[in-house]
Structures are given as C-alpha cells and as structure tokens.
Amino acid sequence: MRLHHLEVTGFGPFAGTTEIDFDALSDAGLFLLSGPTGAGKSSVLDAVCFALYGDVPGDRAVAKRLRSDHAADDVVPRVVLEATLSGRRFRIDRSPAWTRAKKRGSGTTTEQARVVIAERRSGDDAGGAEDDGGEWQPLSTRLDETGHLVTRLVGMTLTQFCQVAMLPQGRFQAFLRARSEDRHALLQQVFQTGRFDDIERWLRERRVELRRTSQQHEGVVADLVSRVSEVAGGTAPEDWPADPEGLRAWIGEVTTSAVNASVAQTLLVDAASSAEIAASEDSAAGIELAGRRSTYAAARRARAGLDAATPAHDTRVDRVAQAHRAAGVRPLHELAVSARAEVRELDQLSRAARESLAEMLGVTSLDDQEIAEHQRTATSTLTEIARVRPFRRQASDLERQLGRLTRSRDEAGAELLRVQARAEEIPQVLGALDPRLQAARESKALAEALTADLEVLRSRTRAARTAEALTTQLMSASQELAEATQARLLARETLVEIREQRLDGMAAEIAGKLAVGADCPVCGSADHPHPAKPAPGAPDDATEREARREVDDLEVVVEAHSQQVRGLETQRAAALAESGDSVEHLLVEEEAALGNLERARSEASTVDAWVVRVEALHAEQAALTQEHDELTATTTGLDTEIAVLTSRIDGLREQVGAVVPDDADLDDLTAHHQRAEELARDCLAQTAELARARATAASTQEAADGVAAAAGFDSSAWAAAAWLSDEELADLQQQIERHERETARVDDLLADESLVLSSTSDPPDLEALAQAHHRAKEHAALARQTDMRLRDRGRRLRGLSDELDAALSSWAPVRTDFDLAADLAALVEGKHPDNRFQMRLSAYVLAHRLSQVVDAANVRLATMSGQRYSLVHTGQRGAGETRGGLSLLVRDDWTGDTRDPATLSGGETFVVSLALALGLADVITDEAGGTDLDTLFVDEGFGSLDSETLEDVMDTLDTLRDGGRVVGVVSHVPELQTRIPTQLRVHRGRNGSHTSLSLG
C-alpha cells in the first residue's frame, strides 16, 4: 500500500480544504510530520484511516465528531485519498455523517455518510509517480461494499492496519506494561484467535453436558437398584456407584436365590394338581350318571308328544304332494289367463277407434267396407293437395320478391335525389376546413415541446418527494439506531454487573465444582469442611454467557441500523441533488406547465380529425359520382324485373285455383284428411289383431285343461287352487323334516343300553362330590399362586438384572467421556495439575504469536539500545496474575539480569515499545499474506530520548525505508526538525489548521 495524495475538507481541525502530496514526500523516503500539540498531526493519520475504512482508530472513534467545528455551516466534511492497493490505483472519496441546519424552517437535519471508490483503469503508475493518463472508473457507492473491497485489497482490518501502518503513540508502552489478561485481549483482536476461545467454551459446555448426562445415567441405575431391592426384599451395597462389578455380583446372588425358591414351590404345585384331578374325575363321574338318568326320562316324554302330533304331520305331507303336482299346470294356466286379458283389451281399443272415426265423419256407425272406402278417398285427396302445394308456395315467394323489388326501386330513387344534393354541398364544406386544419397542426408541435418540459419537472418532483420520504425514514432509522445503542449500553451494564456478582460469589461457584476427594484449585486441600454457598439468585456461567450473547446480538443490531442510516443519508443526498427545489415550488411549476400542455394537446388532438374529415370529403365526392351512375342503372333494371315477376305470379294462381279455392287453408285441409286416413287404417289393423287374439286364447285354455286332467285335477282352475308359494312350501317341508328327525332321535335314545341301565341305578350325591372337588381346587390354586409369585419375582429380577447391566454398560462410556472432557477442559483452561504454567489454550496460541513478535522486536531493539536490552517472553505468571503464558520481561545484557518492563525509564520504555510495535507490524504483515506496506507512520515519543539513543532509533527507522518504503515520523521534537529535512508541517490557528510542505 502506497499513499499518493490526500485532500481533507471540514475534517477534524481542518476547516477549509487541505491537500497533502505524499508522492512529493515519498522521494526522500523519510519525512517528518510536525506541528504544535493539538494542531492536528494525528488528524492527518485519522483522515487516512477514515478514507480507507470509514472509521478512525482509538478513542476518537467513540466521539463520532469528525466534522470540523471551525468549518462554515455549508461546508461538507470530506476526505479524498488516492492510493495504490495491491498494485492498483484507487481514489476513495468519503464524507462522514454530520448535522446541518435545515434549508427551510428551523432545526437541524442529519446528512448521512457516503462513499465513492473509483479505479484508474489505464496509465496508472504502481510505483506512485503522478501521471496524466487513464480515467477514473467508479466501482461502488455502497459503504459495505467499499469496506469489504478495501479490507481485501489492504489485507488487514482497521485494527491490524493501525497496529502495523500507524504505530500509535503511547499504545505500545501500555501493551509493554500490561497484565497478561489485557495483553491477551489485544493480541486476540489483532491475530483473530477467537476460535480458540470458542474451543475452550465448547469444552466447558461439553463438560457440563457430559456431567448432566452422567448424572442422568446414574439416576437410571439408582432407580433400577431401588427396584431390585424392592423386588428382592434386600439392600444393595452402599458403595455401588464406585463399584459397578460388585453391584452386578449382588443382583446375581439375589436372582439365584429367587430361582431356587421357585423350583421348590413347583414340586408342591405338582402334588396339589394331582389331588385336584382325582377329585375332579369323581365329581365328573357323578354328574355324568345324573345326566344319563335325566336324558332317558326326557326321551320317554318326547316319545309321547310325537305320537300325539302324527295326524297333523300326515296332513302336511298330503298338501306338499298336491302342490308339487299342481306346479306342472301353472305355466299353461297363466298363459290362458293372459290371452283372455289381451282379447278384452284389443276389443276395447277397436271399439274406441271406430267411434273416433265415426265422430270425425259425422255418422253413427261404420262397417269394415265403409272404413276401407274412407281410407282410399282420404289418400287420393292428400295426393292432389301435395301436387298443388308447391305452386301456392312459389306464388307466395314471388309476391314477396315483387314487394322487395318495388321497395328497392323506391329507395334507389330517393337515394339518387340525396346523392345529387350532397354532391352540391361538399365544395363549400372543404373551403371552410382548411384554416382549422392549419391551426391544429401548429398546436401539435407546441404540445411536443411542452411534454418534454413537463417530464423533466415530474422527475424533479419525484426526486423531491423521495427526499422527503427518505427524511422521514432517516428520522425513524436514527431513532431505531439510538434505541438499539441504548439497549446495547444497558446490556453491557448488565453484563458488567453479572461479572461483578460472579466475582463476588466466585468462592461459592468454585465450591460448587468441588468433587469429593479432589484437590481444591485455590488452597490445594482435599478436604472441604465448609464450602461456600451461593447467594440466592446469584448468576452462574450460563447467565453470563447469555448476557454476553445478548450484547453480541445487540452489536450486530446496532451495526445493521448504522448501515441503514448511512444508506438512507446517501440516497437522500442524491434525491435532493436531483430535485433542486422544494416539492411545493415544483408542483406549482408542474401545474402551470400541465395547464399549457392540456390546452395545446386539446387543440392538437383535432389534427387527425380534420385531416380525416378532409380526406373523407374528397373520397365522398368521388364516391357520390360513382354512386349516381350506379343508382341510375339499378333503377332501370328493377323496373324490368318487376314486370316479369307480375306475369309469373298470375300463371301460378290459375293452376292452384283449379284444385282448391284460393282462400282455402292447405295445412288444415291436409291435417283433416291425414287424420281420417290414420283412423281408418288403425280400425282395420285392430280388427285383424282382435280376431287373432281370440283364436290364441281358445287354444291356450284347451291345452291348460288337458295338462290339469293328466295331473289328477278337474280343470286348470282346480290345480291353481292347490298351488302353494315357495315360502309356504318351504315352511311345510321344514315342519315335516323336523318331525321326522325328532322321531329318529327319540327312538335312538330309548334304544341306548347305557341310558336304560342308568335308569335302574341309584342317583349320585352331587353336592358331596362338588365340595370335595372345591377343597382340592382351592389348595391347588393357592400352590399355583405362590408358584406364580415366585416365578414372577425371578423373572422380574432377571429382567431388572439385564436392564441394570445395560444401564451400567451405557453409563460406562459416558463416564469415560466425562472424565476425559473434564481433564481436557481443565487442561485448556489452565486449571489441570499437568498444566504447569496455568496457561489457557488461547493464551498458548497467542504465546506462540507473542514469541514471534518478541523475536522480530529484538532484531530492532538490539540496534536501538546499543545491544543492551532484549525482550524475553516467559510462560510464568506475573505478580497478581492467575494465568500465565503472555508475560514479558526485559533482559539487560550489560548486567545479565531480567526485570519487569515497569522499571525502565521513559526513554528506554519508548525504545522498547517502538521495537515491540515494529516487531508486531512485521508479524502481522507476514500473517496477512505478505502485504506490501510502502507507507508507514511512527507517532510521537521521541522527546524522551537522549541524542545517542535518538541516533540509534533513527538508524533503525532508516532501515525501514529499504525496498522503497516511505516512513513518516510524527513528532514536535525540535531536534528531529533539523535531522529530517523533508517535512509536512501542521499549523494551528484560531480559525482552524492548515498544512505546508518543506522538501528540504
């Protein structure tokens, strides 16, 4: 990175515009940035940082007052930096957020931060020489995009850049003398080693999680041990948590004892079951004998009942037989009945048809011959009507055509008169339209010009309205930013309060982590007679993590609101620049322009209508001439066609009158004769059908009577009386079969020898046999119940033994993991006995980085201190520190002693601090991927050096110029002004500061 040119306006102490040509200062390689205290030397460095990163280093970033208090009210704060980054020439133009007076009304408004980054595409001189070639190509106007681009090109964050390129005054003296905890925070921020803190935190959380899981497993095992003790009726060993194998042996003994008791009870169950079986057999034999005696008596009673029901059974058998014989007659009988019904229906239809025909013809009765004659007459009449019908229809069509031709001839005559009148009017109308068409064309040209002006006004009005909307949004976003900042402040205060409460109750927190038999991390004792108790509601590590997480979340929220505010400020500034005036003034101008445009458009809108009308009049004039000729020819043709049609109509009417009267309705006459013909034809057809049906009915009845006689019935009607439905027949058949089955069953029982023998035996004493069986059954049930209880106890103990074994097996790896996580967490936290230096993991990593910094610093410190001093990195804890790894000592090679940096004098402290800062810059540069830093600043501290030491320091700074690097020394020491001829002076004044350049 090399700086070329810096322009500062209204920034810091610079009220006006100040330009700094770094290319001119770079020729010497070493230049002095001098000026009285408070003149603005550090503000030059702040301007460089602000141009690159949009922020300034150190405590000045918190104040958020970058605009110069000396600047006029209308001066916009601005920093423009030209620099070469990663071999490419860039120009960065930034303005911070600032407050100005409103242009209208009272009060103030906030202008948002903005940025424009551009790159010179061609003709750039990477070495920094000024050239006139190439054009600046804008890359971005977004704050976030520019920030990411610069960070990537420089290869460092703002914090790293300030530690490497702008060695700050006093900062490394504080770093040199800081405690390990403070040094840890700074190195972690610079080297971005927060991931190792994440590892420590993860291990702590993993240890807590595994402890909780192990306790859950221990609870499961304890529950199983309690259940085993309850089932077995014994007590488990008291030291079972520490001796899982002894617990397994105890439950094995308990289970074996339960199994032996169950085997002994099984023998008693077998004996009681045998006695129960014998008593059951005796009771069953008595019940069986009593049952056979009862069965034989019931069979004798049933035999008497069956004999009494025999006549009714024979009647049912006869009815079923007759129904089966009558089933063969049924189909022919049903056909005969159907045929007689059909004859009756056809007879009624035939009489109704004859009556309808007689009524239509106006006679009383008709025979078959008269009906046939009427049919022939109606058919002949219909034929004649059909022949003359087309003639009447054709005559009617010709009459309608004649009427149309007559109307057409009249219309053509009237149209001819109209055409003649219109042709005479058109020349007069054309003469009146020409002036109006010319005026409309002039208004059309004026409307086009007014439209362009109105579009420009509307664009400016939209920009003005957008600016007002963005102003409202900006106020809301600023309010949200203030609220988020306040919430972050409250969250930080809460976090500090929680940390203080944890520190106050740290003894109780340490006591809560003590394990029985383990050494106390404070006093080392293995006995804990009176551990401290936490106060009610005291916060723990989880509470602090939650508070810290809330602070981190609010940091993200504040940054998001800040970006939103800066974006709105940029958009509002662009909108105001585009509008150029207020919405009210623009609306007045727009309304006036719109009125003029509407009038011009109204007049211009008639151009096409006038043109169309003129063209239409010319076309109409030509069309009227042609239409006049066509209408004359049409009138002559129509007269000829009318005469021809009149002659044809008279001929057709003469032919129709020869058949029917002229006033007769052919449709009614045709319908009358068609109806007569249809009725006559129906009468003749129904007469023939009735004769056929009567013959069929007689033959069917004769056949049905013959089949009935063959089945043993007098007629088919007698057979129909014997018919039974399927349900009745099935019911009778079931009764017959039931009677026969019952008779066979009773006969079999009465013939059974065992039943006959049982009726001669003495009846058994069933009650005595049942009591004996009940007593044997109760004894056997009690024995089985005892056996089931013992079996269940053994089964439950075996199941609990398996569950306990599985629980112990599941617990074992968790206990192993917990022990490992606890040891590893204690190790990385610096609390394990094996960690001799009590060093955290993150401190160990940073210790490696610090050793690199010390090695790099000692190379320069040897030159600046005349080979006397060197820095020593030690892992031992310093005085009053609880953790080691980041302590620094200074070795005096003249005496061979090492001592605390706090014992150094002011000048010695500056030399050692400068060497440490340069060493850190070298390490960070290598860490960032070898980023080229061609411009470097060293800020203050030279006033505490003697001349000899100052000479050594200057020699060291001269070595920094190797490879074309430019070093700027920031100091107001008079001696340096004589030693460094190339100078950039900052002059302090009542109305602000300004700069001057001296090239020696």
pLDDT at 340 over 80: no
Fold of 1-155+931-1000: Rossmann fold (3.40.50)
pLDDT in tens, 205-240: 888 888 888 888 878 888 878 887 877 777 777 767
| Backbone CA torsion sign across 21, 23, 24, 26 | positive
Q: Which residues of 444-473 are buried (b: 16+ CB within 10 A; e: fewer)?
A: bebbeebeeebeebeebbebbebbeebbee
pLDDT at 731 over 50: yes
pLDDT in tens, 759-803: 777 777 778 878 887 888 888 788 878 878 777 877 887 888 888
Q: Among 36-50, 477-491, 619-633, where is mean pLDDT lowest?
A: 619-633
Quick one: tokens of 426? Answer: 């058109």
40: left (phi over 0), alpha (psi -120 to 50) or beta: left
What is residue 94's predicted lDDT score, i.e. its pLDDT? 93
Q: Which amino acid is at 949?
A: T
Average pLDDT, the chain: 77
The set of long-range contacts for 658-666, using a CB threshold of 8 Å and a minimum separation of 24, is 658/388, 659/384, 659/385, 659/387, 659/388, 660/385, 660/388, 666/385, 666/388, 666/389, 666/392
8 Å CB contact between 502 and 604: no
| HSE, side-chain direction, 13 A CA sphere, residue 658 | 8
Indicate the Cα dihedral angle 870, 875, 876, 880, nearest 10°: 90
Give the integer Cα–Cα distance in Å for 817 and 824. 10
pLDDT-based confidence at 408, cuts 50/70/90? confident
What is residue 128's predicted lDDT score, i.e. its pLDDT? 43
pLDDT at 283 over 50: yes
Indicate the Cα dihedral angle 819, 823, 826, 829, nearest 10°: -120
What DSSP string describes 842-901? Answer: HHHHHHHHHHHHHHHHHHHHHHHTTT-EEEEEE-S--TT-S--S-EEEEEETTTTEEE-G
Q: Among 2-11, 142-151, 173-182, where is mean pLDDT lowest?
A: 173-182
Structural element, H or E, at residue 240:
none
pLDDT-based confidence at 164, cuts 50/70/90? low
Q: Which amino acid is at 470?
A: L
Structural element, H or E, at residue 763:
none
pLDDT-based confidence at 306, cuts 50/70/90? confident
What are the structural domain ranges in the chain?
A: 1-155+931-1000, 330-366+665-721, 368-608
- Closest to 51 (Cα-Cα) out of 127, 192, 161: 161
Tell me which of 877 and 620 has the higher pLDDT: 620
Interior angle at CA 650, CA 647 and CA 653, nearest 5: 150
What is residue 173's predicted lDDT score, i.e. its pLDDT? 64
pLDDT in tens, 115-140: 999 998 764 444 444 445 578 888 88
Indicate the Cα dihedral angle 198, 201, 205, 208, nearest 10°: 160
What is residue 672's predicted lDDT score, i.e. its pLDDT? 75
8 Å CB contact between 340 and 715: no
For residue 505, the Cα-to-chain-centroid distance in whole angstroms is 46
pLDDT in tens, 897-926: 888 877 877 667 777 777 777 777 777 767
- Closest to 384 (Cα-Cα) out of 670, 672, 652: 670
What is residue 80's predicted lDDT score, i.e. its pLDDT? 95
What is residue 928's predicted lDDT score, i.e. its pLDDT? 54
8 Å CB contact between 890 and 904: yes
pLDDT in tens, 342-359: 777 777 777 777 777 777
Indicate the Cα dihedral angle 308, 314, 316, 321, nearest 10°: 170
8 Å CB contact between 24 and 4: no
What is residue 918's predicted lDDT score, i.e. its pLDDT? 76
| C-alpha distance from residue 406 to each of 399, 402, 600, 634, 643 (Å) | 11, 6, 54, 12, 10
Give the integer Cα–Cα distance in Å for 357 and 351. 10
First to last CA, the chain: 25
SS (H, E, C) 604-634: HCCHHHHHHHHHHHHHHHHHHHHHHHHHHHH
| Helix boundaries (H) for 233-243 | none
What DSSP string describes 391-404? Answer: HHHHHHHHHHHHHH
What is residue 379's predicted lDDT score, i.e. its pLDDT? 78
Quick one: tokens of 63? Answer: 């104040």
pLDDT at 841 over 80: no
pLDDT-based confidence at 749, cuts 50/70/90? confident
The set of long-range contacts for 132-137, using a CB threshold of 8 Å and a minimum separation of 24, is 134/89, 136/91
Indicate the Cα dihedral angle 362, 368, 369, 370, nearest 10°: 0
Phi, psi of 808 (to 5 degrees): -65, -40
What is residue 90's predicted lDDT score, i.e. its pLDDT? 93
Strand, helix or coil for residue 83: strand
pTM of the model: 0.40
pLDDT in tens, 573-605: 777 777 777 777 778 777 887 887 787 777 777
Residues sharing a CB contact under 8 Å with residue 497, sequence separation 6 or more, in sequence order = none
Beta bridge partners of 984: 33, 997
Residues sharing a CB contact under 8 Å with residue 661, sequence separation 6 or more, in sequence order = none
The set of long-range contacts for 430-434, using a CB threshold of 8 Å and a minimum separation of 24, is 430/614, 430/617, 430/618, 433/610, 433/613, 433/614, 433/617, 434/614
| C-alpha distance from residue 539 to each of 191, 201, 211, 479, 496 (Å) | 32, 17, 20, 33, 12
Beta bridge partners of 869: 892
Strand, helix or coil for residue 168: coil
8 Å CB contact between 834 and 825: no
What is residue 6's predicted lDDT score, i.e. its pLDDT? 93
8 Å CB contact between 374 and 361: yes
Judge residue 832's burial from the number of C-beta atoms within 10 Å of its C-beta, 0-12 exposed, 13-18 middle, 19 or more buried. middle
pLDDT at 183 over 70: no
The DSSP secondary-structure symbol of 67 reads B
Q: Among 144-153, 447-456, 943-952, 974-983, where is mean pLDDT lowest?
A: 943-952
